[in-house]
Structure 1
Amino acid sequence: MRIRPWVIVEAPDSRGLRRVTIGRGTAGSAWSKAELRRMLGRSGYPENMDLDDPASVSWRGGDSGTWPDRPWRRRTVMSLMTAGLLVSMVFGAVIGWPDASGALTFAQRITGVLFVLSGVVQGAAAIAALDHWGRRQFKASGAVVLLGAVIVLATDSLLLFLWLEEREYTHYLFFFMPLWCWSVWALVLLVREKAWRGTPQPRKFAAGVAATALLTAVSLAYSTMYQPAAAPMHFTLEAEFGKAWADRNLPYVHVPLTLRMKNTGGIPVYIINDIYTVRGRAPLYTRGEEDLATEWMRTVGGEGQQEGEAELYVDRLKYTTVSSGRFHDPGSSLDVGQEYSMKRVFQLPRDSRYDTVGVELQIAYMRKDRGKLDVEEFGFAHPTWNRNDRRYYCAPAICGEQIIHRGRVRHNNNLINMTRTPRYVTAVWSPGGRFISSISSLAFDYSGPGDYREERRELERYGAAKARTDAEVSMAELMGSAGI
């Protein structure tokens, strides 16, 4: 007669799992009587052994009919936990990888790497969920699942907060909104069952989670707010007339013009639009009998007159565009310290009645640390007089002759891209002096004015601005340099 039975089945734990001891060693755990029979069969016991025979099996905390496990509920919870963590893992990689691999600044790359690493943690949590709702061979599996759920809640709460600022439709809503609801459910369930129990040194684990959250928050704040605002933008624009020379065969004077541009700031930029315009000024001179204010009021009505210009002996100014063109290619970039220059030659009649000739150079740019422009799409020119391009066609009698460039722009913080509708940069140019640059989510059409408030907000968000310079020379000086 044996002193103790060979098989001992312990009382069920909180999940209904009963530990089985055969002889002097633990054979494993069983969820049901059928699973117990399979375990005994692997140990050499007959398939039809009497489990209720106290000489063979000792039952503690219940008999052979005490199996409180609810397999369908347990497996459903395990499946939902695993699926939610896996979807969030993929979503975290989608958020972080563009910044981790292509962001311009180090801080933005670090932010992207943190999101990718959070996706790795969520993948590990998905594996831990199988163990936590399984046999719990890894003691810290519940804490790992809890960490993954906290990361999902933090990430999707941030996305939800950013989305609420604009409330624009984006197909990513169908991911982060359900995931946010899932994370709330998962955290309530994990906290209720105290999933952190069994974790070695739980205080250090909690401190590590808090430190990771703080590092992520600081990195996001630095990359999205402080760093873009701290780096200033400076441009050096120069326009200079050279020595003119007379044409021996034609009654014209050739005037060289040199234009220069240099990025003297701390951030590379995209040049999204630019124009230079040379104008000749033909005034009607007076003897200056009146005071300057009275002369200015009469002068303002002149064609092309700028309201801020006043001269005592000049009346009724008229400006004529002599030459106009593009300075740089649309969508081209200008790195820190990089310089670009261009030389042009334009012609003036020897008997022209201009007293001065002036040039104005303007550029519109966008900071590369704020956004990434689709250069290939933006670089394609759309003439408005091309009837085959129906989207951009506009009758010359209405719009004149214009060239339009339009391309998608993506924010360098991919969180913004996930919570906003697509933005597009539009540049309108014509040699007559039309020079428009905008960033908007609106479709391009000629039906009327756009949402200027949105355009101003987007221009500021992407760090878009303009710079200009001008120069002026007297006609007498040009003719003198040409020997006339």
Structure 2
Amino acid sequence: MVPVGLRVKPGPMEDGPDITVEPPDSRGLRQVTRGGEVVGSAWSLKGLRRVLRRLGHPGDVEVEDGTLVRWRGGDSRTWPDRFVKRRLTIAFMMAGLLGSMALLVVIGTPDALGGLTFAGRITGFLFVLAGLVQGVSASAVLDYWGKRRVRFSGAAVLLGALIALITHSLLMFLWLQEKEYTPYLLAYFPLWCWSLWALCLLVRERTWAGIPHPRSFAAGITATTLVAGANLVYSSMYQPAAQPILVDLEARFGKPTVDSRTSFVELPLTLRAQNRGKVPAYVLGDDYSVYGWMVRFSKRGGGLKGTKEAMETESDAARYVAEQKSETVSAGRFLSPGWVLEPGEEYTAEKLVRIPRTADYEALEAYFSLTLMREDKGGIDVWEFQEPHFSWEKKEGRFYCAPSECGETLIYHGKVRHNNNLVNVTRRPRYVTTWWSVTPEDSSSYVSISSFRFQPKGSVEEEEREREMDGYGVVNLYAEAVVPFASLTGERE
């Protein structure tokens, strides 16, 4: 007999079943509660028995016993979980996120650790960070398509899919500009298609429902995308335009001396290059030549002479010059290809030109040229590029060319990469080639950048060559000096 006024808590038999199996959700998962508190979940009857064993019930408990288990939304045979489909979805989602993570880390690491510009390093760091976030998203896939014990696992998966769509869309956009085959295309094109599928699936799942501040979440993704895009534009367009190459080039004749033993005039020639700007520059090609000009005069005048030739060669026309021609007196190099002129650095070379005192020259002219490439627009494998190849030697393989056809030429060849690795992975590799030769008539230096591993001089279309040279910020600089030959000897023979 129970005393009056004393309330006794009813047991399971008096208050109904102790365990309740809730109706299946949209994926087929059924929650298990006890006294209104969630104590587990199950995809199948086997899973339910595991929950019951954890709660202290025997493994062979009779689940149809209405005194122990209450069934809502179906009985013990109602398990709509589509096991194979769910596992395939998990596998496909994780494969895409992990593949995207690997690609972004591979693309971003070279710029993050050794970018040619600060903006490029920031872009590389953002790509590596985005890849690491996708790694976290991949781990959240198991929970989101599992029992969803972590509240924001769906948001994490959505973030990973958005990052994949944004980054691979950027890569596809860059690729479409040139449409060149690159092995990376076999990675980011399938991943771009995967990101569209993943995002459509997650939108149907309404994964943003668990995000506490969805607008802030979207704003963060947008801001990150804008920063990465701004860095790419800044490093590839604005910065090179705002900081042009400022290199002073000078050719200057010195004070001549006459060797009394040989009656030769020894004329010093100073060649100087100084980088006054803030941008380091690679030397791609260099050359200097000294020409002796022979002139036949006409005292009668009668108008400017050589006007047609002057217009064709953009040279000078002279009234009292009836005929003039030149021949090469001396030729050589200033710096070898692959040298880098750092900001503030100056390099000077002293040459000595020897000419017979009785030479029939009216004037001497020095012509000095230098071809430079901005270091912030591209990087060169200098160890490969600085090694000369002799075109006349058969052991040079693909660089060999019969002297009867190509003469004797020094060839420098090396790989060049863009200052942003996003461009490198969306283009075929580029190569820079420099030809330098000296003939009895003249010397010349010729530089080409193209997508060919190596092509003979002149085989690359000039339009493509100019476009590639402009893309890497290549400039050609010239300096000239002229001195009357009579001033070297002090008299006229």
TM superposition score normalised by structure 1: 0.94
| Counterpart Cα distance in 2 of 1:315 and 1:394 | 41
Does structure 2 conserve the Cα–Cα contact (< 8 Å) formed by 1:275 and 1:435?
yes
* Match status 1:429 vs 2:426: no
Matching residue of 2:188: 176
Report the secondary structure of 2:62's partner residue: coil
Provide structure 2 residue ranges, at least 5 long, that are not aligned to the other structure: 1-12
In the alignment, what sits opposite 1:334?
A: 341
CA distance 1:332–1:447, change in 2 (3 Å): closer
Q: Which residue does the alignment assign to 2:480?
A: 470
Instruction: Give the aligned partner of residue 176 of structure 2.
Output: 164
Residue 316 and residue 67 in structure 1: after superposition, are their counterparts in 2 closer, same or farther (change >3 A)?
Answer: same
Aligned to 1:321: 328
Once the two structures are superposed, the pairs formed by residues 392-471 of structure 1 within 5 Å of their partners are 392-431=399-438, 432-446=442-456, 449-471=459-481
Post-superposition Cα deviations, 1:406-458, rounded to whole Å, max 9, x if no partner, equal: 11100011111111111111111113322211111134344963222211111
User: Could you tell me whether the CA contact under 8 Å between 2:164 and 2:192 is conserved in 1?
Assistant: yes
Secondary structure of residue in 2 paired with 1:196: helix
Which consecutive residues of structure 1, in runs of 5 or more, have no partner in the other structure?
Answer: none
Matches within 5 A, 1:22-61: 22=34, 25-61=37-73
**Which one-letter code corresponds to 1:282 in the other structure?**
M
Who is 1:350 aligned against? 357
TM superposition shift of 1:308:
1.5
Q: CA RMSD in A?
A: 2.1
Q: How much has 1:288 moved relative to structure 2? A: 3.5
- TM-score when scaled to structure 2? 0.92
In 1, Cα distance between equivalents of 2:65 and 2:313? 108
Is 1:149 equivalent to 2:149 in the alignment?
A: no
Residue 64 (str. 1) matches residue 71 (str. 2): no
**Distance in 1 of aligned mates of 2:310 and 2:22:** 101
Q: CA deviation at 1:300?
A: 6.4
1:280 corresponds to 2:292: yes
Within the candidate set 293, 301, 308, 1:289 is matched to 301
Mean CA deviation greater in 315-324 or 407-416: 315-324
Equivalent of 2:88, from 67, 73, 76? 76
Could you tell me how far apart the structure 2 residues matched to 1:454 and 1:234 are? 26
C-alpha contact 2:236 2:419 (8 A) present in aligned 1: no
C-alpha contact 1:299 1:317 (8 A) present in aligned 2? no
2: CA distance, partners of 1:66 / 1:208: 42
Give me the whole-angstrom Cα distance separating, in 2, the residues matched to 1:66 and 1:472.
99
SS at match of 2:475: strand
Task: Report percent identity of matched pairs.
Answer: 49
* Partner of residue 360 from structure 1, selected from 345, 356, 367: 367
Local SS of the residue matching 2:252 = strand
Deviations 1:264-312 (A, max 9, x none): 22311101000011111111122143211xx2258769xxx95522222
In structure 2, C-alpha distance between the alignment counterparts of 1:234 and 1:315, rounded to whole Å: 40
CA distance in 2, matches of 1:458, 1:299: 32
Shift, 1:474, TM fit: 1.1
SS of 1:388's equivalent? Answer: helix
Give the Cα separation in 1 of the matches to 2:103 and 2:309: 64
Alpha-carbon distance in 2 for matches of 1:65, 1:112: 54
CA–CA distance in structure 1, aligned partners of residues 308 and 199 of structure 2: 76
Q: Which moved more, 1:36-45 or 1:72-81?
A: 36-45
Say if 1:159 and 1:287 are closer, same or farther in 2 by CA, change over 3 A. same
Alpha-carbon offset, residue 224 of structure 1: 2.6
Q: Cα distance 1:336–1:443, how it changes in 2: closer, same or farther (>3 A)?
A: same
Give per-residue Cα distances to partners, 1:361-386, cap 9 Å, x unaligned: 10111111111111111111111111
Deviations 1:452-472 (A, max 9, x none): 221111111110110001001
Q: Which letter maps to 2:444? A: R
DSSP 3-state at the match of 1:439: strand
Q: Structure 1 residue 210: deviation in Å?
A: 2.3
Residue of structure 2 in register with 1:310 after alignment: 317
Deviations 1:22-47 (CA, angstroms, capped at 9, x unpaired): 46753211111101112222332111
| Contact 1:78–1:129 (8 Å) recurs in 2 | yes
Alpha carbons of structure 1 residues 460 and 114: separation in structure 2 relative to 1, 3 Å? same
Instruction: Tell whether the 8 Å contact from 2:232 to 2:420 is kept in structure 1 after alignment.
Output: no
Partner of 1:378: 385
The one-letter amino acid paired with 1:221 is V
1:192 aligns with 2:204: yes
Give the residue type in structure 1 aligned to 2:362: D
Find the aligned partners of 2:250 and 2:350 in 1 and give their Cα distance: 12
Contact kept in structure 1, 2:42 and 2:48, CA below 8 Å? yes
Q: How many residues align?
A: 478
Question: Helix, strand or coil: the match of 2:201?
Answer: helix
Q: Which moved more, 1:127-136 or 1:223-232?
A: 223-232
Q: For 2:100, which of 84, 88, 98 is the aligned residue?
A: 88
**Alignment CA distance shift 1:447-1:224 (3 Å):** closer
The equivalent residue for 2:5 is: none
SS at match of 1:282: strand
